[in-house]
Structure 1
């Protein structure tokens, strides 16, 4: 069941030099350039359409995509964030499949540019997002599904102490084929102090 209400823009969420804010129309060109520059870095992990007819990220204007993403806020189904580091746009974090009713859950997906990878930016961004879902919106559960080959992303959920729930076979079409994913989750009851509190230091 959808959340059933419009999701308010939370403004800038920040921890250390890491920031999250809802994607804006003005992000279209910086994002397009970032996606183009990171083709070899991101292709292996990007969702693809089984028909093979999908558009290569960064090859067209991001403005129509941003309009679609922002509609998720009004529909109460998702929150499309950009990740910033020291004021620079360095990636995206998408909260999707937001559910209300008896489920009160959401899924997260993310990417950061290769030039800032390994600095602890992604764990901080994910923690910011989940803490907002728990304490800002009042959700009960957050989930992240990761390809077993994606060691960098697996380190993110390890740092945040998220619970392993098992493998989903042929779960999402990624880089041209149906790929297995490992599922990790955390509930608000499991993290009463939030996930930022689990990070010993912030970038």
Structure 2
């Protein structure tokens, strides 16, 4: 196995991003504008650059600073997308947040749930993080399926939480803590033991205003 691979399951693997990933990631982003743009973080201060070389440099600096873990998702060794663990807090909080994107041509191959499960296990087991969170727009049905499959627990509605696609957007928050998954997120999912209703959104939050 490539020494850069941190976790793998079948054809899906995750590894740390490298400077040379900038070109394939840039190509994937540009070829998937209509697929991804609706879900991409933007800035209220103006346009955000899509220069992946600069983006990778920032991600690697965050990794060196201990505030993030920038990962590449691969399928059969081919770059399929990105998964970033960000906002890492140490000490009494010991928490982090996961964000991700995958190219449209790789959709439907369980790449995202497998990668999210492996990244969460990596953080729980190797990084000593206690709580992992994923925040998802109510309209993003594909991402909602990821947390449903993996048994992430619904924790509430965050109104106008992140600037996405040009405006402040509501997000649903989901999380797991280490004690929830002593067998590991990936093992629990593969074994069919992820709770089916953990990510259920209550009626009061289903029509955010």
Q: Is TM more than 0.5 here?
A: yes
> 1:41 matched to which residue of 2?
35
Match of 1:53 among 44, 47, 54: 47
Q: In the TM superposition, what is the alpha-carbon distance from 1:11 to its structure 2 partner?
A: 4.2
Alignment of structure 1 residues 74-153 onto 2, 5 Å: 74-153=64-143
For the pair 1:20 / 2:10, whether they are aligned, the reply is no
Q: In the TM superposition, what is the alpha-carbon distance from 1:12 to its structure 2 partner?
A: 2.9
Q: How high is the TM-score relative to the length of structure 1? A: 0.90
Tell me, in whole angstroms, the C-alpha distance in 2 between the residues paired with 1:27 and 1:153.
24
- Deviation string 1:27-86 (CA, Å, 9 cap, x unpaired) is 11111100000000000000011123322x3xx4x2222111111121111000010001
Higher relative contact order (Cα pairs below 8 Å, separated by 6+ residues): 1
Tell me, in whole angstroms, the C-alpha distance in 1 between the residues paired with 2:46 and 2:105.
29
Tell me, in whole angstroms, the C-alpha distance in 2 between the residues paired with 1:64 and 1:146.
26
Tell me, in whole angstroms, the C-alpha distance in 2 between the residues paired with 1:94 and 1:119.
20
> 2:207 matched to which residue of 1?
none
- Deviation string 1:132-163 (CA, Å, 9 cap, x unpaired) is 00001111110000000000000000000010
Tell me, in whole angstroms, the C-alpha distance in 2 between the residues paired with 1:122 and 1:176.
25
Q: In the TM superposition, what is the alpha-carbon distance from 1:197 to its structure 2 partner?
A: 1.1
Tell me, in whole angstroms, the C-alpha distance in 1 between the residues paired with 2:45 and 2:131.
32
Tell me, in whole angstroms, the C-alpha distance in 1 between the residues paired with 2:166 and 2:92.
35
RMSD: 1.4
Size of the aligned set, in residue pairs, is 189
**8 Å CA contact retained: 2:133, 2:173:** yes
> 1:66 matched to which residue of 2?
56
Q: How high is the TM-score relative to the length of structure 2? A: 0.87
**Which structure 1 segments of 5+ residues have no match?**
1-8
Tell me, in whole angstroms, the C-alpha distance in 2 between the residues paired with 1:20 and 1:73.
15
Alignment of structure 1 residues 173-188 onto 2, 5 Å: 173-188=163-178
